């Protein structure tokens, strides 16, 4: 499988298209599994986990025609999506400070951002 490494974080849509989003960190290695004619690709990500995992069995049914694959969707993080997420999960001053310092934004950059905001 072709390996790629993400340059930006990606949003992971929750199971069944729910309103919950999770973040796949920047620098995650993805393994291309399959390309679809509809214009999207499926990737595999490997995780290590210590200890037992809480789970339920997924029954294999004849109509699956083989192994059941139930992928989640990944999306680029865009401004509109972030606005919607932040409406559901407001950020504290501490959260904003951590996000800003993680991207190494200067005080001048931050001042420019604040000046560009509507009153």
Compare 75 and 50 and report the one with higher pLDDT.
Answer: 50
Q: 3-class SS at 110?
A: helix
In a domain, 102, yes or no: no
Residue 53: per-residue pLDDT: 93
In a domain, 113, yes or no: no
Alpha helices in the chain (DSSP H): 79-88, 93-102, 107-116
Q: How far is CA 99 from CA 2, 20, 55, 71, 104, in A?
A: 32, 20, 33, 29, 9
Q: What is the mean pLDDT of the chain?
A: 84
Instruction: List, for residues 55-102, the tens digit of each pLDDT value.
Output: 998 887 777 666 778 888 898 888 787 777 777 777 788 877 777 777
In a domain, 114, yes or no: no
pLDDT at 17 over 80: no
DSSP 68-82: ---PPPEEE--HHHH
Q: Are 26 and 5 a contacting pair, CB within 8 Å?
A: no
Q: How far is CA 90 from CA 17, 76, 94, 96, 118, in A?
A: 21, 20, 11, 10, 18
Mean pLDDT of 27-56: 95
In a domain, 107, yes or no: no
> Based on the structure, what is the number of domains in the chain?
1
Compare 5 and 96 and report the one with higher pLDDT.
Answer: 5
pLDDT at 23 over 80: yes
Report, in this order, helix, strand and coil percent for the chain, each rounded to 5: 30, 20, 50
Mean pLDDT of 8-22: 81
In a domain, 109, yes or no: no
Residue 70: per-residue pLDDT: 80
């Amino acid at each position: 499988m072709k390996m790629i490494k993400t340059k930006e974080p990606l949003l992971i849509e929750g199971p069944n298209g729910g309103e919950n989003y999770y973040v796949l960190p920047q620098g995650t290695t993805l393994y291309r599994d399959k390309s679809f004619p509809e214009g999207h690709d499926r990737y595999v990500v490997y995780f290590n986990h210590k200890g037992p995992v809480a789970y339920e069995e997924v029954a294999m049914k004849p109509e699956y025609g083989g192994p059941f694959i139930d992928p989640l969707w990944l999306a680029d993080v865009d401004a509109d999506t972030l606005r919607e997420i932040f409406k559901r999960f407001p950020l504290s001053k501490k959260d904003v400070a951590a996000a800003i310092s993680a991207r190494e934004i200067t005080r001048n950059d931050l001042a420019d951002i604040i000046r560009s905001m509507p009153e």
